[in-house]
A and B are shown apart, each in its own frame.
Chain A
Amino acid sequence: MRWTDLRAAAVLVRREYQLACRGPAFWAVTVLGSLLAVWQASTPGTSAALAAYQTRQMVIVGIGALAILLAGSAASRDRRRRASELVLSKPGGSSSQLVAARFVGIWFSLLSMAAIILTASSLSQGVLAGTPSRPAVYLSALVLSVVPMGLAVALGFSLATLLTTPLASAAAAIYWVAVPLSRSHLAMVLDLTLSQHWFLAALLSAALIALAAGLYARPIRGEDRTSACLGWVSALLIAGTGTAAFAIVSQGHDALLKPNPVLSAIASQTCVQERRAPGFWLPDARGRLVGLNDLQGRPVLLAFWGPAASDSARALVVLSQLASEHAPDGLASVAVCLDRDAATVRLFSREVDGRVVMVWDRGRHFGDGLEWSDSPLAVAYQVTGVPTAFLLDCERRVVGQWQDEEVLDQLHGAVSRLLAEK
């Protein structure tokens, strides 16, 4: 491909981007989303990571559903605007390149929307809440929206092309919103917005766009080799996605699909005061396994939290302060994040800046929602709500337990006493 061809492709993407951005719906949603993000971020005590997490969830769920609808609408735009014949009578009007340009144009427009909303959230943190806005956290939240947005656009675009009606994308948008809200077996397994499932999401997006491009190019199929190949490419990608999805689910640690002896052993442990605390072996933000045995001989502050409960995310700040204050005296602090998405751990790890070791317990694939009841470790510690913190002495005995954000302040005295005894 020559330089001029690449430039022409970029201009076509730009025109598609303009078509997506100039509609009143785009700006209405951007303004509404920004106001919501500002409101969330300016709540007192909200940290940058929590604000970025909440905004990202809103972007992935809300704007993701909108992306499906917008992409479906773009796929039927020519028919709606009565421009189909004008477009199809042009040599490139039924080409796979046009489909690719439309996909990329809509995708970029939605990422722009996410960037505007995240910027509004970041600015409101600094200006209204008076807390440091930490642009890197917001940037990472934006990067974490790239693949789910691409999947949403691919889903809406291909379904509307395949079934030749934007109603197909409306049904997909409903499913998209239902996934995070639903606690059903199917929804949890097929949630492709989770960052650990990104490669599946990317494969599926590519397959859907290849399929849509192949179908769209039907009017001149047989003359355009690229278009003829697209059917095979999409079939291979879909088969690959299906195989990978099956592999993930069948090797998962979910008790219903494949009993996991290690997790069963964790769950069978019981936390009893003055007796040794249940052990664990969980991945940190970088995927390295961290166990309680690694911290032998040191008093440990172990806290359970989950971003779904915003109070527990706020408690991370208290934990972080406590950890940095007592780390020189030998205190080890571990926060157990109860969430399905691996990216959440990475996002909040920036907040605690290495003062607290953040480990991730994604629990079972499905159950009564992924909360503490689905985490074998939380069950072993008999956690009934988050935030809950445990103080373990050097012998791994539980010497104290605290629940709720306000009570966490009492930790300070208990930790000081324990360290003095040591």
Chain B
Amino acid sequence: MQIDIRGLRKVYPGGVVALEGLDLTIPPGVFGLLGPNGSGKTTLMRILATLLEPSAGDAYIDGRDVRRNKAPIREMLGYMPQEFGFYPTLTAYETLDYFALLCRMNDPKQRRSRIRESLAQVNLEQLAERRVGTFSGGMKRRLGIAQALLNDPRVLIVDEPTSGLDPEERIRLRNLLAELAGGRIVILSTHIVSDVEITSERFAILHEGRLLFSGKLADLLARLEGRTWIIDIEEEELTRVREQFFVTGVFRSATGMQVRVIADAMTHPRGYSTSPTLDDGYVATMRQEAELSAVD
């Protein structure tokens, strides 16, 4: 099973282009969608979740067109949007029961067992009888994942699942998504690079509706192999180093200051080679795009 996206374009009323001729293939496993706010990640996810019609191009999930096969696609899909809410007066169990009924799980035994399983997967069993109105942001996000898991989906789409969560909740949610990947496609959109680095086998970088990169982390890092450096600097040197090199990160250490740079050759006396990270790859890709745009 895979998702095929061919020449996908979405123009909102008013002429805002959210997606511009996107071509992408998503295989099973966790697939990260990385990009700044407004890059088209949410638009892509809403089209795949059959909630939005594309202006042009095609998207197929397991060979089914998202335009013409909305009902069967919804049967095999779990979706957690970026912004969502629940009915505060229902308990967690009642909420999931409501959504399970909307998933057409009419058999009460099957419904009960799926609700219990979903609550266990997101570690909310103890709070099943508590009203959702009293839940914290992290609990609501977990309940959001639980409702997406109710129909045991073959495609799970989660939009910015870790935004607004405390570090502990973020780690827990990342681990959960990695666990869920077995045998299904999990599409995770985020603007937090480390979320993708830890959970995703493959990922794509979007910028202003265009695809800048798609592939494995190793493919992106191979482009930077031998070109990533760390330089120990004095604080006053920072401006000069910025002018001389392409800086991807600035850190403070016990001995002073360190900058990560990308360069074909190191001319600084206190510079030494280091392994590239996704942060380096992401910043380099975005920079490359900005330079290309400037040339255009």
Interface, chain A (partner B; CB < 8 A): 2, 4-5, 7-8, 11-12, 15, 18-19, 22-23, 77, 81-83, 85-93, 98, 219-220, 223-224
User: Measured between alpha carbons, how far is A15 from B90 in the docked complex, in Å?
Assistant: 8
Q: Are B83 and A82 in contact (CB under 8 A)?
A: yes
Pairwise interchain contact B87-A19, C-beta atoms closer than 8 A: yes
Interface membership of chain B positions 168-196, coded 1 if the CB is closer than 8 angstroms to chain A and 0 otherwise: 00000000000000000000000000000
Contacting residues, chain B, for A7 (C-beta < 8 A): 106, 108
Interface-central residue, B46, B51, B87, B98, by most chain A CB under 10 Å:
B98
- In the bound assembly, the distance between CA atoms of A219 and B98 in angstroms comes to 20
Contact indicator A91/B101 (Cβ below 8 Å) = no
Within 8 Å of chain A (Cβ to Cβ): is B49?
Answer: yes
A22-B89 Cα distance, complex, nearest whole Å: 6
Nearest Cβ on chain B to A219's Cβ, whole angstroms: 7
Does B251 sit within 8 A of A, measured CB to CB? no
Q: Name 24 interchain pairs, CB-CB below 8 A, sorted by A.
A: A5-B106, A7-B106, A8-B105, A8-B106, A11-B97, A11-B101, A11-B108, A15-B94, A19-B90, A23-B89, A81-B85, A81-B88, A82-B83, A83-B84, A85-B46, A85-B49, A85-B81, A86-B79, A86-B80, A88-B51, A91-B71, A92-B101, A219-B50, A224-B71
- B75, A8: Cβ atoms closer than 8 Å: no
Kindly provide the distance from the CB of A254 to the nearest chain B CB, expressed in whole angstroms.
48
Residue of A nearest to B147 (CB): A86
Q: Given A15-B97, A85-B51: A91 and B86 within 8 A (CB)? A: no
Q: Is the CB of A83 within 8 A of B79?
A: no
User: In the complex, how many angstroms separate the beta carbon of B135 from the nearest chain A beta carbon?
Assistant: 13
In the complex, which residues of chain A have a beta carbon less than 8 angstroms from the beta carbon of B151?
A: 91
Are the CB atoms of A89 and B94 closer together than 8 Å? no
Q: Are A92 and B81 in contact (CB under 8 A)?
A: no
Contact A91 B75 (CB under 8 A): yes
- A19 cross-chain contacts in B, Cβ below 8 A: 87, 89-90
Contact A12 B98 (CB under 8 A): yes
Structural contact, A223 and B70, CB atoms closer than 8 A: yes
Contact B99 A90 (CB under 8 A): yes
Q: Which residues of B are found within 8 Å of A91, using beta-carbon distances?
A: 71, 74-75, 102-104, 151
Within 8 A of A (CB), among B95-142: 97-99, 101-108
- Residues of chain B contacted by A224 (CB below 8 angstroms): 71
Contact of A223 among B71, B102, B144 (CB under 8 A): B71
Check if B102 sits within 8 Å of A81, measured CB to CB: no
- The answer to whether the Cβ of B77 comes within 8 Å of any Cβ in the partner chain is yes
Chain B residue at smallest Cβ distance from A77? B87
Smallest CB gap from A93: residue in B = B102
- Cβ-defined contact, B101 with A89, below 8 A: no
A73 to nearest B CB, angstroms? 12
Query: A82, B84: Cβ atoms under 8 Å?
Result: yes
Tell me the bound Cα distance from A85 to B86 in angstroms: 11
